[in-house]
Amino acid sequence: MNSITPRAATVEKIVGRAVPRPNARRLVEGRGTYVDDVELPRMVHVAYLRSPHAHARILRIDAAAALDMPGVVAIVDGRQLAEICAPFVGALSHLAGMRSPPQHAMAVDRACWQGEAVVAVVAQTRAQAEDAMQAVEVTWEVLPAVTRMDTALDPGTPVIHPELGDNLCFHREVDSGGVDDAFAAADVVVEETYDFGRHTGVTLEPRSILADYNPAERRLTVHHSHQAPHMMGDLYARLMGILEADVRVLCKDVGGSFGIKVHAYADDFATVALSVLLGRPVKFVADRLESFVTDIHAREHRVKARLALTRDGRFLAFDIADLTGIGPYSMYPRTSAVEGNQVINLCGGPYDHPHYRATLDVVFQNKVQTSQYRGVGHPIACAVTEGIVDLAAATLGMDPLELRRRNLMADDSFPRKGASGILLESLSHQRCLARLEEMVDFPALRREQAELRAKGIHRGIGIAVLIELTNPGAAFYGTGGARIASQDGATVRLDPTGIVHCASGVGEQGQGTETIFAQIVADEVGVPMDRVRVLTGDTAATPYGGGTWASRGAGIGGEAVLQASRQLRANLLEFAAVHLGLPVERLRIAGGSVIDTAEGVALMDLAELGSLAHFRPDLLPAGFQPELVVTRHYAQRDYPFIFTNGIQVSHVEVDVETGVVTLLKHWVVEDCGRVLNPLLVDEQIRGAVMQGLGGVLFEECLYDENGVMRNGSMADYLVPMAGEMPDIEVAHVETPTRSSELGAKGAGEAGTAGAPAAVMNAINDALRPFAVRLTAQPITPEKILHALHPHLAG
């Protein structure tokens, strides 16, 4: 026993500190392992020939010439793959009445969007596959395309899936009652329609998959750039008829995801089916051009909103109607109805108002499928709510901040329900507002605004209050019949060298999940962070879990890590007490050592305990077995979601001659519960704000009337870059959730949720002297010019 270490200093907690990501260096040095870095023996590459038409019957596929091209291994159509991979349906049973037709891994007989895979060309290299693809001839019969969502349900519009009878995927209504009476009795009613352009997430690493089916043992290993490896393992097993136990999904480094990589793409199933067919590894790495017409899109919505108020600015009722177009199939397995569903759950969400009514129509179109993308419905709900609140303030002649102050749910009113029926645990709107007023000198900004207006310079201030659902509860997805785990697990273990390993079902996509897990382990076991190793993204080695989505990584995955770490510490203390012959109450673990709290000295390093357990169990008392591996799981069972809240403010300058919007500054006050790592949380918020700025100012998937995407390249699709980024100041209010001991809520999406509303409101505030309002996102310079100079709109 070694007891000569001097008095152990109090060890500072690592959770809550701005610890940099240990894995960042590896990635910056180019030493990451993305799917495309993985090379396997006998591996071949697939390129997919994709439909150039939005809707077309496949009359004939002639691959004879292509089959003779260098390196070609196989050319396969959808019919062949359908014999290996069962069709799938993107519907959830708890979304009552939702319908979507069966979808195949590749188109069979008919392609329903420009970009749907029709022929798989497998060759020794991707370049050879692309060479051969040019020699494949497909004869098409072009069919009429449904592109517009506003006419998708009209009787004259072709029905994409005749067996469904019409183009309606899902309809839902929410009604608290009393809405019509509230509007009839209101002093003021404001009404506006908001349009949201389709856009998409753009990841640095594209969707990538390497499927390796071993026919000798009927085992499938899939290297995948994905957020939910266990979900994918289950789907591959069921659709291909392989035992789930014999499917392993590996997600090593994932170069960004944003929800784009939480879905099961037809391409994924096709690539796995090709590996099954060929009995060898098949790699598919989407290129940027095909990503634009196959990665999910999001946010094509038109929302009509009405708000009823009293003369003194009290909100009485919101009335919302959301129409959204989702492509020809609801996305599997999470569906394409969740975004709209969240819109109608969340509108009006920050405010105390008695009455609420909303309708949702989700319609099919011949465009890329839409589904969950960072923020899922929140950017729309927030823009609609905050847009109409600003309109109400203007109508009443009231300061927009003051109108919000009068209507925000009071901090002492929680837990409570919102008018749409959502359950809210504990929010801090009032404290966030107070914090915001410390950060932003509104009176000075208003003075400057007035002074500059006199000189023809038009600046605006836009406010957006938001709520965000995070830490989804135990029922989420499972209740709808989708086998997507709501719980997550963590295994921690002490090895003989005193290193603590942590394996989690929640993975890392660049947001820093592994870092916060290491922080939690370090604190809860009592070791320095450099003695922690974290493993994620391997279904063979991590506990079964849901993965990363709905801002659940820290809150759900982190709590499992905390619980497992606490139990490991308890086991280690018990072990040390038995070994040392001291009462366990006298011992604690800090800095990687067992400390005698009575003497204040370190008694032994955890490495000694580890060695003892592994190599000298003969020295332990009879009947005592140390357990150095602990697994704990956590499902959030208290609420459907743990909501967070925050406020954002955008300060912009609008050039009224050119329509150019300059972002001067952006402020964020965010309450994501306990802040585990301010560095990572702040960068999550900044990155998310940036994606929100993309949606409100730049990004839109433009289609022609035939359903062909017009701007599907990085030159033409405008992703904002560092040069477009304003300074973003972030502050926190911390209201830890009581649903977990960790207290963390989600932090990854709120930035995206609030930024579009804040910027839209700032632009409209800047343009108030001109009596115009911009409500169609992205708010492009041309839209601003057309509003200001109607003759240009011709």
Partner 1 sequence: MKAPPFAYRRVDSVAAAAALLREHGDEARLIAGGQTLLATLGMRLSEPSLLIDIRGITEMQGIAVADGHLRIGALARHVDVERSALVARHLPLLSLAAPHIAHAAIRNRGTFGGSIAFADPAAEWPACTVAADGALTLSDGTRSRTVAATDFFLGLYQTALRPDELITAVQFPLPGPQRRFAFTELARRHGDYATVGVALAGDVTDGRLDNPRIVYFGIGGTPVRARAAEAALAGGRAEPAALDRAVAELGGELAPAGDLYAAAATKLHLAGVLLRRGIQSLMAEDVQS
Footprint of partner 1 on this chain (CB under 8 A)?
A: 125-127, 130-131, 134, 287, 289, 657-658, 660, 698, 702, 710-711, 713, 715-716, 718, 720-721, 723-724, 780-782, 785-786, 789, 792, 794
Minimum distance from residue 699 beta carbon to partner 1 (Å): 11
Nearest residue to 739 via CA among 671, 646, 641, 630? 641
The phi, psi pair for 334, rounded to 5°, reads -90, -10
540: its two tokens: 């063979």
Q: Minimum Å distance from CB 62 to partner 1? A: 20
How open is the CA angle 12-18-21, to the nearest 5 degrees?
110
Of 93, 231, 197, the C-alpha closest to 698 is 197
Q: Closest CB to partner 1 among 467 and 767?
A: 767
- 188 — phi, psi (to 5°)? -135, 135
Q: Where are the alpha helices (DSSP H) in 467-584?
A: 513-521, 558-580
Cis ω for the linkage preceding 101 (within 30 of 0): no
If the CB atoms of residues 64 and 792 are measured against partner 1, the closer one turns out to be: 792
| Cα–Cα dist 550/374, whole Å | 8
Question: CB of residue 397 vs partner 1: minimum separation in angstroms?
Answer: 33
Q: Are 752 and 695 in contact (CB under 8 A)?
A: yes
CB nearer partner 1, residue 128 or residue 513: 128
Given the complex with partner 1, which of 220 and 697 has the nearer CB atom?
697
In this structure, how many other beta carbons lie within 10 angstroms of the beta carbon of residue 585?
10
How far apart CA 352 and CA 317 sit, in angstroms, is: 10
Query: Closest Cα partner for 107 from 135, 84, 72, 80?
Result: 80
Q: What is the DSSP annotation of 408-419?
A: BPPGGG-SEE-T
Instruction: Give the span between the Cα atoms of 492 and 629, in whole angstroms.
Output: 6
Least distance CB 420 / partner 1 (angstroms): 36
Q: What is the SS3 assignment for 538?
A: strand
Residue 700 CB, shortest distance to partner 1, in Å, is 9
CA separation for the pair 717, 724 (Å, rounded): 15
- Looking at residue 379, its amino acid is P
Angle CA 400–404–407, to nearest 5: 145
Return the closest-CA partner of residue 488 out of 411, 560, 401, 429.
560
Amino acid at 453: R
How many whole angstroms separate alpha carbon 411 and alpha carbon 404?
Answer: 14
CA distance 236 to 248: 10
Tokens standing for 749?
A: 């999406």
Question: In angstroms, what is the minimal distance from the CB of 464 to partner 1?
Answer: 23
| CA-to-CA dists, residue 717 to 368, 639, 712, angstroms | 15, 39, 6
Closest distance between partner 1 and the C-beta of residue 704, in Å?
11
Task: State the nearest-atom distance from the C-beta of 302 to partner 1, in Å.
Answer: 21
Minimum separation from the CB atom of position 502 to partner 1 (A): 38
The residue type of 417 is K
Q: How far is the CB of 513 from partner 1 (least distance, A)?
A: 30
Nearer to partner 1, 626 or 712 (CB): 712
- 285: closest CA among 296, 297, 273, 294? 294
Both structure tokens of 399: 């300061």
CB 604 within 8 A of CB 1: yes
Of 427, 445, 491, 431, nearest to 750 by C-alpha is: 427
How many angstroms separate the Cα of 126 from the Cα of each of 51, 63, 64, 115? 19, 17, 19, 18
Residues ≥6 apart with Cβ < 8 Å to 752: 374, 375, 378, 379, 688, 689, 691, 692, 695
* CB neighbourhood size of 786 (10 A): 17
Q: Which of 162, 178, 67 is nearest to 120 (CA)?
A: 67
Cβ–Cβ under 8 Å, residues 449 and 641: no
What's the full length of the chain, in residues?
Answer: 794
Least distance between partner 1 and beta carbon 70 (Å): 9
Least separation in angstroms between residue 46's CB and partner 1 is 13
Max Cα distance, the chain (Å)? 92
Closer residue to partner 1 in complex, CB, 50/110: 50
3-state secondary structure of 751: helix
Backbone angles phi, psi at 575, to 5 degrees: -60, -50
Of 475 and 718, nearer to partner 1 (C-beta) is 718
- Element of type H or E holding 423: strand 423-424
Least gap, CB of 288 to partner 1 (angstroms): 8
